[in-house]
Amino acid sequence: MDTITNEAPTSAETTKLKVELRQLRADISELAGTLRGLMADKARLGRDKAKQAMDQAGEKIGEHPFASLLIALGAGFLVGFLLERNRRT
């Protein structure tokens, strides 16, 4: 059925379309499964990297607790200042 006509499709054409549609559904289902697996792998990798970063941050805070406290206070002050400034405008 390369061209559009007003003729009704034949039984063979209908059967061929049904087979192709079934195959297309199977292909889409397989693709969806593959994508699910890839996304799960990426999520696992992201969690592992985040945990590693948190562990490293915890080590640095433990090594330099006073400097960490000053940095946290400075960051809090800066965020508060920026939020207050944006609220006034």
User: Helix, strand or coil for residue 41?
Assistant: helix
Q: Read off φ and ψ for residue 5, nearest 5 degrees.
A: -130, 170
Both tokens of residue 11?
A: 């039984």
Both tokens of residue 39?
A: 């996304």
Task: Find how far residue 60's CA is from the centre of its chain.
Answer: 30
Residues counted in the chain = 89
Question: What span, in angstroms and rounded, lies between the C-alpha atoms of 49 and 70?
Answer: 26
What are the residue boundaries of the structural domains of the chain, listed by start? 12-88
Q: Which tens digits make up the pLDDT trace of 48-83?
A: 999 999 999 999 999 999 999 999 999 999 999 999
Q: At 23, is the pLDDT very low, low, confident or very high (cuts 50, 70, 90)?
A: very high
